[in-house]
Structure 1
Amino acid sequence: MARSTLEQWRMFKAVAEHGGFHQAAEVVYKSQSTVHHAVHKLEQTLDVQLFQVEGRKTTLTAAGEQLLRRINFLLAEADRMENVALNLKAGVESKLSIAVDEAFPRDILYQTLAAVSAEYPLIRIELLETILSGANELLSQGKAEIAVSPFTLPDNLNEDLCQIEFIAVAGPQHPLTQPRRELALEELKQCRQIVLRDSAQHQKKDVGWLGSEQRWTVSHVATSIELLRKNLGFAWLPKHAVQPFLDNGELLPLQLPRGSSRTFTFYLNFNDADTLGPVARSFLGHLRYLSND
């Protein structure tokens, strides 16, 4: 039988992550003496030193670092168990938070949300619009129950949702489209490229060709399209997003010897199916159906 408790491990983790007993006490809403006693009791029980204190600095020992990696999984599992119990008790969740990459087709997303709301009219849906690795970061932080992302979820089973084509485009008066011709790589390097900023706060990623000497970075697909329509640069953007502007001539596809089009797989990510309530499951079902329609 375990001689340590989850509460002791939670306090140990708080001290490790926040750099001291005083800081941890503020996070867990306990007195500093309570936190210190819990960690000291844990060290006595395990007969191992978890922290070393040098002046005002509290750092993990080698043993503490190894145990922290293991306890993160245990505490996450405990939280999932509590969430499962809450869902079983409540029956239907009152809110669903979904992180969706901006490159994912809006029509599919909106049809999915409409179908879910028709089934559960009282549900509050929070739509978190992200770029690149932002959706998975929100999922890992517990700020979203579901993520639609162009990246797989590490250490998890990942579900392919659909493939999205990105094409190189610019405005009709941009030097790269005047006159219409096949472009050389050097011509691209000399022009301004509009790129999308990763909305993640940590472990940001760059995707695709970023070879231009000039670059403007923006936070939304709509901003990128507006800049292109004003002939202020070129970019690779989702074909479904720029198709209306291709149809009316406000944007033109670039003629490249290779690489003018690229395809990315988008994934449907969530941490634990057992923690998802009926509203989340309804969203998953409709999104799967519409993405493969």
Structure 2
Amino acid sequence: MRRPSWHELQAIKTLGEQRSFRRAAEMLGLKRSSLSHLVKALEQNLGVQLFQRTTRSVSLTDAGQQLIDRLAPLLNEMDKVLHDVSARRQQHAGTLRISASDAAISILLEKVVPGFCADYPNIQLDFAAQGELVDITAAGFDAGIRLIEDVPQDMVAIALGGPLNFITVASPAYLAAHALIKQPQDLLQQQCIRHRLPSGKRYRWEYENAGKRCELDVPGTITLDNNALMTRAAISGLGIAYVPSLYAEAALQSGQLVELLADWRVQSAGLALWFPPNKHQSMALRLFIDALKNSLPRQS
């Protein structure tokens, strides 16, 4: 016996419910003659009559009724599963607007976005690289991504990944023209590229080694609020920069930059995604949070 297809079983179920070849054929999008042929072929395949047919009516035989009683719940459940899958696919669409620091966006573009876009091609990601902290609700953003220490206290924060390494770098040309740097305090006699925080304050460079810790308000004639620009300024020989290591990796490998004070490296607390506690999380945002957690696992 040939196993009936899902479409054949669906046709039998529909005819059993409608008790009319005309109505069942219309619901199935078939010609009446095609449905009649399908039913006859299935009855021959099963070796049992499923319907009593007269010129005016269609009724189920005992075997047909037994088949419909057991078949209907299975097909209904299958329909529900297919509907849920289709609905879920439709929900995987829309635009996700995220405010983030340039450092955060650089990490996302490298480690998260490629896989997320491949998995959910109908979700549009709209990033705004903003130096200053904004009211994401008023500005129409779905979420923000910042260093954990910068997240407003009244927001829901989800920690992402491990700490960030901050390093001190300068170009070979700059180092050749200036005094040797052996310890953090030597930076106070150098030309440094200072970092302006979203609050407007200048970032104090932090160092730690063998239990000794210091923070420096370094001197310099250039102040920027963008890590990529600070790295570019250092490559151009304009001074010493203090940036997350990911910005300087390529320039260090190419020899455009040299790391200073490697024994005094400091790690920040890392990144966090945040949003208002009363904000409804869209399906797109929940999927993006899952992608962040998978691509940037927390490190113990």
TM-score by length of 2: 0.56
Q: 1:175 to 1:91 in 2, by over 3 A?
A: closer
Post-superposition CA distance 1:103-147 (Å, at most 9, x none):
22735434433333334323332111123x52xx24243431111
In 1, distance between residues paired with 2:291 and 2:285?
Answer: 10
* Match for residue 145 of structure 2 among 148, 160, 180: 148
Unaligned runs of 5+ in 1: 1-89
- What displacement does 1:251 show? 0.9
How far apart are the structure 1 equivalents of 2:176 and 2:203?
22
d(CA) in 1 for partners of 2:99, 2:254 = 31
Aligned residue type for 1:290: S
Q: Does 1:214 align with 2:211?
A: no
Whether the 8 Å contact between 2:191 and 2:240 is mirrored in structure 1 is yes
Point out where structure 2 has 5 or more consecutive residues left out of the alignment.
1-89, 206-215
Residue-by-residue CA offset, 1:168-193 (whole Å, 9 max, x unaligned) = 111112248867651361x3123222
Contact 2:91 2:284 in 1 (8 A): no
Q: Secondary structure at the match of 1:228?
A: helix
Secondary structure in structure 2 of the residue aligned to 1:195: strand
> Which of 218, 227, 232 is the matching residue for 1:226?
232
User: Over aligned residue pairs, what C-alpha RMSD do you find?
Assistant: 3.1
Q: TM-score, normalised by structure 1?
A: 0.57
Partner Cα separation in structure 2 for residue 184 and residue 122 of structure 1: 49
Question: Identity across aligned pairs (percent)?
Answer: 19
Distance 1:111 1:175 in 2: 33
State how many pairs are aligned: 197
Question: Does 2:139 correspond to 1:139?
Answer: no
Structure 1 position 285 matched with structure 2 position 290: yes
Instruction: Please report how far the alpha carbon of residue 224 of structure 1 lies from its aligned counterpart in structure 2 after TM superposition.
Output: 1.2
Write the distance in 2 (CA, Å) between the matches of 1:281 and 1:177: 52
Match status 1:99 vs 2:99: yes
1:112 matched to 2:116? The reply is no
**CA shift in 2, pair 1:129/1:105, >3 Å:** closer
Aligned equivalents of 1:236, 1:100: Cα separation in 2: 19
Q: Deviations over 1:7-66 (max 9, x none)?
A: xxxxxxxxxxxxxxxxxxxxxxxxxxxxxxxxxxxxxxxxxxxxxxxxxxxxxxxxxxxx
| Structure 1 residues 278 and 255: CA distance shift in structure 2, 3 A | same
Bigger CA radius of gyration: 2
CA distance in 2, matches of 1:286, 1:240: 20
Relative to structure 1, is the Cα distance of residues 157 and 279 closer, same or farther in structure 2, using a 3 angstrom cutoff?
closer
Q: Which residue matches 1:171?
A: 171
Distance (Å, rounded) in 1 between the aligned partners of 2:108 and 2:126: 17
